[in-house]
Structure 1
Amino acid sequence: MISRATLASWIRPASPEPAAPPVTGSERRGLWIEITIVLLVTFGASGLSGLLSLSESLLTPGNLADQAVALNVSRAENQVIDVARQLLGVVKLLAWGALGLYLLWRSGMGPSSVGLGRFRRRPDLTQGVGLAALVGLPGLGFYLLARAVGANLTVVPSTIGDHWWRLPTLILWAIANSGAEEVLVVAYLITRLRQLGWSENSSLLASAVLRGTYHLYQGFGGGLGNVAMGLVFGRYWQKTGRLWPLVIAHATIDSVAFVGYAVLRGHVGWIP
C-alpha cells in the first residue's frame, strides 16, 4: 500500500538540486528568448497549428467524429521520392531533439544530466514498456469514448500505401516522435523552467499543456489525453531523472498504433 508520504512526494515533489545555477538579470531574459525561439520553430508552432486545425474542424458542418485526420501520409506519388521525404521528416524531428540537447550541453548540462546517460537495458526497457501500458491502454479507451461522444476526429494512423518500406518507416516515425517530444517537451522545457525559478508543479503543467496543444488537431480528446500523458511522463521524469523509459514508452505507443493499424485495418471492425 502506498504511504501518505510517498503519495505526497509525487503530488508535490521537492525541487531537485539544480544541474546548473538559477539565472538572473540578463541571463534570465536570454533564457526566455531561447525558450521562445526553440518553441516557435518546434512544438510551440505545432501547438498554434493544432489550435487552428481544431478551430477549422469546429467550423466545418457536422460532428467532429465524422471528420478524419491522418497521422502518416504519402508525400509523393513516386515511391523513391516518397520514402526520401518520409526520411527527411524523421531527420527533422531528430534534429529538434538534438537542438534541445545541444542547448542544454552549452549550458553545462550533458545528456546524462537529463536522463540520457548510459542505457540500462533491463530497468529502462521494463519501465518503458510499463509506462506504455499505463498510458496507452487507457488512452485508447479515452479516444474511443471521445470519438463516440463527438469530441474527437477519427484518427487514421497511416494512409501510406502497402509498400515494402511502409512498416520500417512507420517505426522510424515513432522513434523520431518520441525522441523529439520527450527531449524538448520534458527534459529541455522543464529544465529551463527550473532555472527560471518555476516550481515542479508549474513546470510540469506547462510541459503537459504544451503536449496537449500540439495534439488538438485530433480534437478535444486528443488534446486532453495528451495533457494526461504529459502529466504522467513529466512527473516520472521529475521523480526519477530518467528519460530513456519515456522515450521507449512513447516509441512503443506510437509503433503499436502505427504498425497495428497498418496490419489490422480491414480485419477489425472498430478500426476505420
Structure 2
Amino acid sequence: MTTGAAPARGSGAARDRLRAWLVPERPACPEPVTDPRERRLIGLEIAVVLTVTLGLSALRSALSLLEALLAPAPLADQQVALNAPASTDAWLDLAFQLVRAMQLAGWGALAAYLLLRAGFALRRIGLDGRRPGRDALASAGLAALIGIPGLGLYLLGRVLGLTPDIAPSTLTDAWWRIPVLVLSAAANSWAEEVVMIGYLLTRFRQLGWSENRSALVAAVLRGAYHLYQGVGAFVGNVVMGLVFARYWQRGNRLWPLVGAHLLIDVVAFVGYALLAGRLPF
C-alpha cells in the first residue's frame, strides 16, 4: 500500500510545480471604474479601437465567408491564401507586404499606448523581460496545445466540406519570401494578442465584467475575424481565444501568448512555403 501511494503523491506534486511554472496565480486586478462618464469613455474607446483594428476585420471576414457560400463552387473547392502577392512586380510586392506588417504592428502599438495613457505600465499586462526563460517555455507549450489540435480541426473541416483549402502562403519564390513570412507571423501575433488580450481584457476588467464573460466575448471576436477561413477556423480560434484569455487572466503574462501565436504562424507560413508541392500530402 505504501509503495503504491508514493508515486501518486510525487506525480501530483510534479503537476502542481508544472502548473505553478506555466500558470502562476492570478494577480490583483484593477478596480472597476464606477464613474458613469469614465465608463462611457472606456466603452467608446473600445468601440473605436475595434473599429480601426480587428473588429472591422471581423465584419469583413463574415462578408467574405458569405460571398464564398454564395459562390457557385462548393466551399471545400475554394482556396484562401493568407499571405498572397499584392503586385506582379517583386519590389512593389515586397513594399506592400512590409506595409501590411507595419499596419498590424501599429494596431498593437495603438492598444499598448492607450493602456499607457490610462496609467497601466506594460509590465502589468505582461510585456516585460522579467522571465524570458519561463515565457519561452510557456510559449512552446501553448503552441503545441493549440497548434496540433488546430491542425486536426482544419483537416476535419476539409473532410466535412466546411473549410476551404487554406494556403498559408502563395508568395513568389523571391529572396525575401521567408523573412517576410516570419515578419508577417510576428506582426499578426503582436497585433492580435496585444489588442484582444492585453488591451481588451484589461478594459473589460475596468468595466467590471466577469472573467468568463470577458474571455467569451474576446474569443468569439477572435473567431469572427477568422471566418473567411471557414467554420473550422472560427471554432478553432474561439477555443484558442478561450485558452489564451484564461492563461492571461491567471497570470497577466502576455509574452507567452505572443510567442505561442508566433510559433504557430511561423510553422504554418514557412513550413507551407518550403514544403508545398514537395510532399505527397
| TMscore range, shorter length | over 0.9
Q: How does 1:143-158 map to 2 (within 5 A)?
A: 143-158=154-169
- Who is 2:142 aligned against? 131
Check whether the contact 2:32–2:208 (CA below 8 A) recurs between aligned residues: no
Q: Unaligned stretches of 5+ in structure 2?
A: 1-10, 17-24
1:158 alignment partner, SS class: coil
Equivalent-residue separation in structure 1 for 2:90 and 2:54 (angstroms)? 29
Equivalent-residue separation in structure 1 for 2:72 and 2:120 (angstroms)? 50
Equivalent-residue separation in structure 1 for 2:12 and 2:195 (angstroms)? 31
Q: How does 1:158-237 map to 2 (within 5 A)?
A: 158-237=169-248
| Equivalent residue letter for 2:220 | V
- Who is 1:50 aligned against? 61
Equivalent-residue separation in structure 1 for 2:203 and 2:134 (angstroms)? 27
2:87 pairs with 1:61? no
Check whether the contact 2:27–2:251 (CA below 8 A) recurs between aligned residues: no
How many percent identity over aligned positions?
52
- Who is 1:261 aligned against? 272
Check whether the contact 1:20–1:108 (CA below 8 A) recurs between aligned residues: no
- Who is 2:108 aligned against? 97
Pick closer, same or farther for the CA change 1:27–1:61 going to 2, 3 Å: same
Equivalent-residue separation in structure 2 for 1:72 and 1:151 (angstroms)? 21
How big is the alpha-carbon RMSD for the aligned residues of Structure 1 and Structure 2? Answer: 1.7
TM-score by length of 1: 0.92
Equivalent-residue separation in structure 2 for 1:33 and 1:136 (angstroms)? 34
Q: How much has 1:2 moved relative to structure 2?
A: 7.1
1:268 alignment partner, SS class: coil
Q: How much has 1:121 moved relative to structure 2?
A: 2.3
2:168 alignment partner, SS class: strand
Check whether the contact 1:15–1:199 (CA below 8 A) recurs between aligned residues: no
2:53 pairs with 1:38? no
Q: Deviations over 1:165-185 (max 9, x none)?
A: 000000000000000000000
Q: How much has 1:162 moved relative to structure 2?
A: 0.3
Pick closer, same or farther for the CA change 1:118–1:202 going to 2, 3 Å: same
Q: How much has 1:21 moved relative to structure 2?
A: 4.9
TM-score by length of 2: 0.89
Check whether the contact 1:74–1:82 (CA below 8 A) recurs between aligned residues: yes
Q: Is the radius of gyration larger for structure 1 or structure 2?
A: 2
2:82 alignment partner, SS class: strand
Q: How much has 1:83 moved relative to structure 2?
A: 0.7
Q: Unaligned stretches of 5+ in structure 1?
A: 7-13
